[in-house]
Amino acid sequence: MSETTTEKHVFQAEIQQLLDLVVHSLYTDKDIFLRELISNASDSMEKVRHLEGTEKNIKDAGDELNITLELDKEAKTLTLTDRGVGMTHDELVENLGTIAHSGTKAFLEQLKETGGSPAGLIGQFGVGFYSAFMVADKVEVFSRSWKEGGQNLRWESDGKTGYEIEEVGELPRGAKIVLHLNEASADFAEEYKVKTLIERYSNFVGFPILLEGNRVNEVEALWLKNKSEVSEEEYKAFYQFACKGFDEPSYRLHFAADAPITINALIFAPGENPEKSGFGKVDGGVALYCKKVLIDPEPKGLLPEWLRFVKGVVDSADLPLNISRETMQDSALVQKLNSVISKRIIKMFEKEATADPAKYRTFYGKFERFFKEGIATDFANKDALAKLLRFETSMTEAGEVCSLTDYVGRMKDSQETIYYLVGQSRDQIESGPYVEAFKARGLEVIYFTDAVDEYVVDSLGEFGGKKLTSIRHAGADLEDLDTEGETLSDEEVSAVCEFLKEELGDGVTQVSGGKRLVDSPVIALVPQDGMSPQVRQMMKAMDENFKDEVKVELEINPRHALIRKLSESRESNPEVAKLVASQLLDNALISAGLLDDARETILRMNSLMEKAMG
């Protein structure tokens, strides 16, 4: 080499501006400089891999591709060496002295547009290499390009106004970056500190990272592999080690997509509900990566809130490395990811449920509340989520469940709506007066027995274009039944109804002779817009002064012996008839879960019993 000359260069004005930002305000979290440099090193070695397929004369071809880190506490330096493509003189000038690459350029353009206030933009764009100046007051880059006859170069800058380039003695191919750490960042020469950072951000980088001679990153980025290349054991180990799963995963989704956004995802549904037995809400368990480099371990907005129980990795090469936590949720890219991934996850559950209903049943038993939360909160996915619901119905055996799709498939031709009832249990629902009319007509009724189901059904409203109708409400259009046995005449029915209406006064809006009932004498129906018993319970629990007037519509069963007797005793024994009228209403309210105060009921019962015994 001839005598060395040192060229002095001045940074482009934009770079100076950028450096000023980087150093003073851009990153709140200066740790990330290491992630940026390791990413650059990894990208550069990726390029070597490609070149090895096409080019013949690559300097040091065949050398192992790795990243080494050396620390010197005395000298306060951190040195990162890669065996990538390196840079020629012109590339050094272009890449590290001007704003040639898109991310930074876009950053500065945005900065100009917003009138120079970096606050909202900070971290949105990659400024990669320059982040080194957050921790270093001097940076040296030793570089040897892969190209034949390339020079051995040293670039140096204090990150203020300019940089120097000079030729140096023989170097291996690649880049060696020496950070002369500033006072406040001296701890980046500590091994434990650097190790933690690598494990956190760069664990899945596809090249060995050696820190002081020891390999740090161990885990393979399974999500980028082809499904067929990954064994069950590897998946399980990944779940347990990388996702910190303490149980066996129950399901997994591994997919790659190119449109509308590049995604490689590996997502697990755990075996156990992490929120069971009062552990409280867990944080999202899906980490966001860009080309194997961690962007955020708990990205906000990547998945809908209700999916917080799943664990895994989403990797999108389309994301800027430095997308910040603040802007994450507003990012159109992240919203796209959210939409694509949540749809895929729901589809996966649907498929698994069909493939192995028993397994899904067990899973559902532990995780149904998440799906239900989704129906109530995730408008875009609520219809798809409804397909995941399972429940018993008047046509399933006790303990057997089915889906809304099953239900709709069984609906009668004439049936327009999906009938359901919310109650505490199958037994409780079936012992009440509501279901019998539907059973008698061969109409299936869904039994919702979870405390939150009332809200879930309310949010859902309909399924597959069919309205969900509570059979607690008046107005179900039921066809006549050919019933045998004695019944009251139409005139007698009207008379009994009138009598009841008079006796019960404001407690009932209407009394009618209905077709609903088979075995029960009377039923209380609440108006369509009325509060459900579950909601009333809630209101009462929250507000001790809560009072609402219960107004129901009574439907009587003209075939029932009690009603027929009432029709007679109305005139023959009005005293008892009056007591019976009130008692019938209370009984109906008890069945409806709407009786608030039973004191009067008990007193009346007592006098009825007395009378019965003469």
The binding site for ligand ADP (CB under 6 A) comprises 36, 40-41, 44, 82, 84-87, 95-96, 101, 103, 126, 128-130, 175
Between 82 and 315, name the residue whose CB sits nearer to ligand ADP. Answer: 82
Between 23 and 375, name the residue whose CB sits nearer to ligand ADP. Answer: 23
- Reading the block at residue 239, the tokens are 């779940």
List the alpha helices (DSSP H) in 26-101. Answer: 32-54, 89-97
In this structure, how many other beta carbons lie within 10 angstroms of the beta carbon of residue 556?
27
- Smallest distance, ligand ADP to C-beta of residue 176, A: 9
Between 80 and 457, name the residue whose CB sits nearer to ligand ADP. Answer: 80
- Reading the block at residue 232, the tokens are 């069950």
Whole-angstrom distance, CA of residue 158 vs CA of residue 444:
77
Whole-angstrom distance, CA of residue 156 vs CA of residue 163:
5
Whole-angstrom distance, CA of residue 61 vs CA of residue 83:
10
Between 85 and 384, name the residue whose CB sits nearer to ligand ADP. Answer: 85
* Cα–Cα nearest to 388, from 420, 426, 352: 352
- Smallest distance, ligand ADP to C-beta of residue 96, A: 6
Whole-angstrom distance, CA of residue 584 vs CA of residue 557:
12
Between 322 and 393, name the residue whose CB sits nearer to ligand ADP. Answer: 322
- Smallest distance, ligand ADP to C-beta of residue 325, A: 19
Between 35 and 308, name the residue whose CB sits nearer to ligand ADP. Answer: 35
Between 207 and 434, name the residue whose CB sits nearer to ligand ADP. Answer: 207
- Smallest distance, ligand ADP to C-beta of residue 229, A: 29
- Smallest distance, ligand ADP to C-beta of residue 78, A: 14
| 465: alpha, beta or left? (left if phi > 0; alpha if psi -120 to 50) | left
Residue 503 has φ and ψ, to the nearest 5°, of -65, -40
Between 127 and 471, name the residue whose CB sits nearer to ligand ADP. Answer: 127
Amino acid occupying residue 174: G
In this structure, how many other beta carbons lie within 10 angstroms of the beta carbon of residue 614?
4
DSSP annotation of 354? H
3 state DSSP class of 518: coil
Between 33 and 363, name the residue whose CB sits nearer to ligand ADP. Answer: 33
Between 126 and 374, name the residue whose CB sits nearer to ligand ADP. Answer: 126
- Smallest distance, ligand ADP to C-beta of residue 370, A: 38
* Cα–Cα nearest to 407, from 353, 452, 466, 449: 466
Residues making up the chain, counted from first to last: 614
Whole-angstrom distance, CA of residue 189 vs CA of residue 185:
8
Instruction: Tell me whether the omega of the peptide bond preceding residue 260 falls within 30 degrees of 0, making it cis.
Output: yes
* Cα–Cα nearest to 38, from 121, 128, 153: 128
- Smallest distance, ligand ADP to C-beta of residue 257, A: 24
- Smallest distance, ligand ADP to C-beta of residue 316, A: 15
DSSP annotation of 186? G
- Smallest distance, ligand ADP to C-beta of residue 181, A: 19
Residue nearest to ligand ADP (CB): 128
- Smallest distance, ligand ADP to C-beta of residue 102, A: 8
- Contacts of residue 216, defined as CB under 8 A and 6 or more positions apart, other chains included, come to 195, 198, 199, 209, 210
- Contacts of residue 200, defined as CB under 8 A and 6 or more positions apart, other chains included, come to 294, 297
- Smallest distance, ligand ADP to C-beta of residue 37, A: 7
- Smallest distance, ligand ADP to C-beta of residue 453, A: 50
- Smallest distance, ligand ADP to C-beta of residue 47, A: 8
DSSP annotation of 358? H
Between 43 and 275, name the residue whose CB sits nearer to ligand ADP. Answer: 43
Between 41 and 585, name the residue whose CB sits nearer to ligand ADP. Answer: 41
- Smallest distance, ligand ADP to C-beta of residue 115, A: 25
Max intra-chain CA distance, the chain: 129
CB 207 within 8 A of CB 66: yes
- Smallest distance, ligand ADP to C-beta of residue 217, A: 17
Amino acid occupying residue 358: A
Between 95 and 264, name the residue whose CB sits nearer to ligand ADP. Answer: 95
Question: Which residues are paired to 342 by β-bridges?
Answer: none
Between 83 and 472, name the residue whose CB sits nearer to ligand ADP. Answer: 83
| Residue that has been written with the tokens 């009072």 in this structure | 547
DSSP H or E stretch at residue 314: strand 311-315
- Reading the block at residue 569, the tokens are 């005793």
Amino acid occupying residue 589: L
Between 34 and 496, name the residue whose CB sits nearer to ligand ADP. Answer: 34
- Spatial strand order of the sheet with 285-290 comes to 251-257, 263-269, 311-315, 285-290, 293-296
Whole-angstrom distance, CA of residue 143 vs CA of residue 252:
44
